[in-house]
Chains A and B, each alone.
Chain A
Amino acid sequence: MNIHELHAKLIAAARKHPPGEQVPYAFEKRILSHLAALPAPNPWALWGRPLWRAAISCVAITVLCGLWAAATHSSTDEAGNFSQDFEAAVFAPMSEHIEDAW
């Protein structure tokens, strides 16, 4: 049996017998009654899902930042020294001026 020919023949048969477009009586009323029974969209529910997603990502970022800060703070005390040195350097002219004034 030639399978390719059978395939083509059956596809041609399907093309020659398209399904009907007949519709049951007053079918649109059935759909409309379902539409009327649908619950009204709740704006809070619409907002809820994106807000929850945003909250989860915010919490994740906060946790990651916290972990990173804790890890860098405990491993390098030089960071604290640097900030003190930086502060002293910035306020140096001012403190000199104050000392001179006294």
Chain B
Amino acid sequence: MFRLFLPEPWWQIGTMEPTEAELISAARNGDSASFEPLIKKYQGRVFATARRYARRESEVEDIVQEVFIKAFQKLDGFRGEAPFEHWLMRVAVRTCYDFLRSHQRNRETAFTELSEPESDWLDRFVVEPDNASEDAEAARQLIEKVLSRLSPPARLVITLLEIEEKSVREIAEMTGWSVPLVKVRAFRARAEMRKILSQISKDKYL
């Protein structure tokens, strides 16, 4: 009962939840157990990022694993100027880009047949664009197919710039590219995507 009014004894000081900075510092010194809370906290976001670039769940898991291993090994490079999450997402985006480049050969070079829902959605879009809802699952599948045909830099730029709506400067920071390079790649990526969409319409309607 009296303990309620006593100050915290010295042997209990420091038993509170460690802060993120303390966990990072301990992990930097090689304590991998301190890295566990950080993995738990951010793995959801890293999974979501990886799912934008890899289709198979086994590939997604491999990417996430690589992201955290790289992050642990390169913790010395984290200066603490920006939040840890930003730094980790930078590692994640670069790992995803490496994944896209290493799987470039597996990229779909020829358009596989459009599924029936996708074809119906396109028909609806041609007849009455406003009626073709972007909520439709077919639209999601179609954009996934189009993205899978893009080159790695084009896919990365379209995803970050148009889908995630990041600024050119943010993309430059995440990818390590210069701002003009991001702009050039964005211009090329849009052209590449329009070319693929033209090809779809040509295959379907001509």
**A and B: bona fide binding partners:** yes
Does B32 lie within 8 Å of A9, measured CB to CB? Answer: no
**How many A-B contacts at CB < 8 Å in the complex?**
102
Chain A's closest residue to B201 (CB) is A1
Residues of chain B within 8 A of A69, CB atoms compared: none
Does A28 lie within 8 Å of B40, measured CB to CB? Answer: yes
Question: B43 contacts which of A2, A4, A28 (Cβ < 8 Å)?
Answer: A28
Q: Closest approach, in angstroms, between the C-beta of B193 and any C-beta of chain A?
A: 6
Residues of chain B within 8 A of A2, CB atoms compared: 129
Say whether, besides A21-B48, A28-B36, A30-B65, A3 and B146 are in contact (CB < 8 Å). Answer: no
Within 8 A of B (CB), among A1-60: 1-7, 9-24, 27-28, 30-32, 34-36, 38, 40
Could you say which interface size class chain B belongs to? 35 or more
Binding site for A on B (CB under 8 A): 30, 32-33, 35-36, 39-40, 43-45, 47-49, 51-52, 61, 64-65, 68-69, 72-73, 125-126, 129, 132, 134-136, 139-140, 142-144, 146-147, 158, 162-163, 165, 190, 193-194, 197-198, 201, 205
Binding site for B on A (CB under 8 A): 1-7, 9-24, 27-28, 30-32, 34-36, 38, 40
A-B contact pairs, 22 of them (CB 8 A): A1-B126, A2-B129, A6-B197, A10-B139, A10-B197, A11-B143, A12-B134, A13-B135, A13-B140, A13-B142, A14-B162, A17-B140, A19-B48, A20-B48, A21-B47, A23-B47, A31-B64, A32-B32, A32-B35, A32-B39, A35-B69, A35-B72
